[in-house]
Chain A
Amino acid sequence: NAGVTQTPKFQVLKTGQSMTLQCAQDMNHNSMYWYRQDPGMGLRLIYYSASEGTTDKGEVPNGYNVSRLNKREFSLRLESAAPSQTSVYFCASTQYQETQYFGPGTRLLVL
């Protein structure tokens, strides 16, 4: 039981490049989330998917898109990366109103 997995672990991009962060969970959870973590700002919700087939914006969605590929997988795409998107990205999953389980994170540097 791997829990929540994220790929890649680290990534360096140049401004304007695109990339997709992958997330998968094997706990049969309905809801999945993408957060970014920046120093002194805690975790901020980018997008979430309450159930398969639905996605909604969170607090900081600009510059990002998401796809809920199936119940297990939820990807985050940066179409044209900017230095302001340098951050640590966490994926999480949960059942209804239960504990959110987090992946190990992806550290992204945009030059």
Chain B
Amino acid sequence: AQSVTQPDIHITVSEGASLELRCNYSYGATPYLFWYVQSPGQGLQLLLKYFSGDTLVQGIKGFEAEFKRSQSSFNLRKPSVHWSDAAEYFCAVGFTGGGNKLTFGTGTQLKVEL
């Protein structure tokens, strides 16, 4: 069965520091990948997505992610974190022929220290 792993449940960084959130997946087929962000009490907002082409994708709010097929990873990065980035982040994976379904990771809660 397909699975998505976000190994870090909680991460705390200082404002201005760099950030990397990890995401690993296990799929047999070529995946398409997403990162979503959820602020408290809110729905999920898309940060960025990868379908094909350039493996480094840019998203909103200064986020980027890199697809590494050899490592089955799609890690999210930001060079300088802002206090407003504090939220929960979800990685999601689908694949062609999968009926448009996504499998979500369990999320990483980001705390930003001022």
Contacts and interface: CB of A to CB of B under 8 A. Distances in A.
A100 interface: yes
B64 to A, nearest CB: 17
Interface residues of A, number: 26
Interface stretch (A14-22, A64-72, A74-82, A101-109): A101-109
Interface stretch (B13-21, B75-83, B92-100): B92-100
A66 to B, nearest CB: 14
A42 B46 contact: no
Interface string B40-73: 0011111001010000000000000000000000
Contacts of B94: 97
Contact of A97 (B36, B45, B100): B100
A10 B104 CA distance: 24
A99 B42 CA distance: 18
Given A40-B106, A97-B32, A102 B100 contact: no
Contact of A90 (B34, B43, B92, B100): B43
User: Which 5 pairs across A and B sit closest by C-beta, in order of nearness?
Assistant: A42-B106, A102-B43, A43-B104, A42-B104, A102-B44
